[in-house]
Amino acid sequence: MKLARLLADAGLSAAEGSGASTDADVTGFAIDHRKVAPGTVFGAFQGAAVNGEDFIAEAVQSGAVAVVARPEATVEGVVHVADTAPRRAFARLAARFFMPVPAHVVAVTGTNGKTSTVEMTRQIWRMAGERAASIGTLGVTTPEDTVTTGLTTPDIVTFLGNLAGLAREGVTHLAFEASSHGLDQYRNEGVRPEAVAFTNFSRDHLDYHADMDAYFAAKMRLFDEVAADGATAVIWVDAQADEWTRRAIEHATRRGLKVMTVGEGGEAIRLVSREPTQLGQTLAIEAGGERKSIALPLIGAYQAANALVSAGLALTTGIDRAAVWDALARLQPVRGRLERACITPSGAPVYVDYAHTPDAIEAAITALKPHVGGRLITVLGAGGDRDHGKRAPMGAAAAAGSDVVIVTDDNPRGEDPAEIRAAVLAGVGTGGREIGGRRDAICNAIQEAGRDDIVLIAGKGHEQGQIIGRGTGARVLPFDDVTVARECAAGKDAA
């Protein structure tokens, strides 16, 4: 495809005085100068640790035909697409190159529940007979249920390339997670979702965002700018909507989106009641003037919330209402989200959950409490080089709902693990235990659990490694909470 056509379709132009021809053929896009080949459009962005503008000359030497960068960047010999927001300009340009995309695309944002919601939406579509996929923390999940791992929101080139590749494989329905980082860095651009969802909002990522308002503003780019004109916004509403939910509804309304509220305070799908069962819960809902009873095979209030938001997204994409309700009763657990890893020799179930914020820990504990006949034993830690302010509240949330709390390492990254544990223990208060080695902590909890107890292992969920160190010195040690729990239950407790 000619560069001139891409520029015109994206509403962009070459900077005045760049002097280079826009007649070149474009063969690809890259934001890493080492991946530039002849015909590539190179995105030179300023990052937290690396400035892409420092590699413009190398990219040109490798065959770049255009560089998207700030107006003040030095670009010689090729077309300079100058923009004060180069990430956004690059995404708009790349979106015209990576075609086609699936016919139906939806996106989910919020602090907790994004992964479960996009995966449940994919499952509902699949059970309704559609070729569906999802992109998010678990990676890319295809219609054949195969998964390739990656970031919650991959870089824009990978993201758009995945969309085009899935479309060429016949995928017609796609759900993706829209993280605050991805939205803030324009990694979700180029595709206009016909429906967007907001699950909830609480403290997280304040190591990146200046404050909660900045964090929320990043989330709301999905409603304000990314969603298609006239798209539907599916919003979870508790019995009484909190400030953030009300603000999300205001953003959707101001943009002119159709608002679909679901939940205890929802109008489109109202959760009337929720009763725990041995292996799940029974939901009574009202929708379309009818009351339905749904046997959801997942435990916990937040699982019910994720399932109903997913149902709303499926309905907005034209799935028959009866098919949606039927699919809810057949949903499968999402990897690392209240996943039952094993049963201990004493008969206690062990659950693994990705909970790594105070609200998520509270939600996981609340979900398990109705099933606890004896004690709830919680194992948790906090990630290094991340928001320090949430560590003590995480410990406090665990202590408030658990009978035994064991504080251990998560992903210490570049911090002293003992200091991280101390911060979490400060929130736990008296009675909290400290076992630094995560395997030792998990094995200790499993060995202690009695028949009527439940063990919750929080923090890492689906992750397959433990990150130690930072930068070029970082190491990722193989570690899977589910696998370790099973080994400990089988008596393989040696490190």
Tokens 């407790």 belong to which residue?
A: 493
pLDDT for residue 152:
52
At 149 the pLDDT is: 54
User: How far is Cα 170 from Cα 276, in angstroms, rounded to an integer?
Assistant: 39
Look at the chain and count its residues. 495
Nearest to 102 by CA among 167, 195, 158, 194: 167
Q: Which two tokens stand for residue 292?
A: 């339905």
Strand order in the sheet with 66-69: 28-30, 40-43, 66-69, 79-82
Q: Which residues contact 95 (CB under 8 A, 6 or more apart)?
A: 10, 160, 189, 190, 191
List helix spans (H) across 435-494: 438-448, 481-489
Which residues does residue 67 pair with via DSSP β-bridges, in sequence order?
A: 42, 80
**Which are the contacts of 443, defined by CB distance < 8 A and separation ≥ 6?**
484, 488, 493
Q: Which amino acid is at 462?
A: H
The answer to whether 40 and 65 are in contact (CB under 8 A) is: yes
Q: Which is it for the CA torsion 289, 293, 295, 296, positive or negative?
A: positive
Task: Kindly compute the dihedral angle of the four CA atoms of residues 363, 366, 368, 372, in this order, to the nearest 10 degrees.
Answer: 160
DSSP 49: S
Torsion of CA 478, 483, 487, 493, to 10 degrees: 40
Three-state SS at 289: coil
pLDDT on residue 495: 44
Query: For 169-271, where are the alpha helices, taking DSSP H only?
Result: 180-184, 212-221, 243-255
Tokens 């919003």, residue located: 235
pLDDT at 304: 95
The pTM of this model reads 0.80
Per-residue pLDDT of the chain (495 residues; tens, 9 = 90+): 899 999 999 999 998 766 688 999 999 999 999 999 999 999 999 887 789 999 999 999 999 999 999 999 999 999 999 999 999 999 999 999 999 999 999 999 998 889 999 999 999 999 999 999 999 888 899 887 666 655 555 789 999 999 999 999 999 999 999 988 889 888 888 899 999 999 999 867 677 777 889 999 999 999 999 999 999 999 999 988 899 999 999 999 999 999 999 999 999 999 999 998 867 899 999 999 999 999 999 988 889 999 999 999 999 999 999 999 999 999 988 888 888 899 999 999 999 998 999 988 998 999 899 889 999 999 999 999 988 999 999 999 999 999 999 999 999 999 999 999 999 999 999 989 999 999 999 999 999 999 999 999 999 988 889 999 988 888 999 999 999 999 999 987 644
CATH topology identical between 3-85 and 104-328:
no
Residue type, 484: V
Helix 212-221 crosses helix 243-255 at what angle (to 10 degrees)? Answer: 40
Strand partners, 176: 107, 135
Contact 78, 66 (CB under 8 A): yes
Please name the fold of domain 3-85. Answer: 3.40.1390
Strand-pairing partners, residue 405, are 378
Residue type, 393: P
Contacts of 128 by beta carbon, 8 Å cutoff, 6+ apart? 314, 319, 320, 323, 324, 327
Kindly write down the DSSP assignment for every residue of 212-226, as one continuous string: HHHHHHHHHHIIIII
Rounded to whole angstroms, the Cα distance separating 464 from 443 reads: 18
* Per-residue pLDDT tens digits for 144-176: 766 665 555 578 999 999 999 999 999 999 999
* Confidence (pLDDT) at 144: 79
Dihedral sign computed on CA atoms, order 95, 98, 102, 107: negative
Answer yes or no: are the C-beta atoms of 229 and 256 closer than 8 Å.
yes
**Residue from 89, 227, 92, 98 nearest 158 by CA:** 98
Paired sense of beta strands 139-141 and 147-148, if any: antiparallel
CATH 3.90.190.20 fits 339-489, yes or no: yes
**Token pair for residue 236?**
């979870």
How far apart are the C-alpha atoms of 1 and 21, rounded to whole Å? 14
CATH number of this structure's domain 104-328: 3.40.1190.10
Buried/exposed 421-453: b ≥16 CB within 10 Å, e otherwise: bebbbebbeeebbebeebbbbbbbbbebbeeeb
Q: Report the distance separating Cα 362 and Cα 355, nearest Å.
A: 9
Cα dihedral across residues 484, 487, 489, 494: positive or negative? negative
So where are the chain's domains? 3-85, 104-328, 339-489
The CA dihedral of 36, 37, 40, 43, to the nearest 10 degrees, is 0
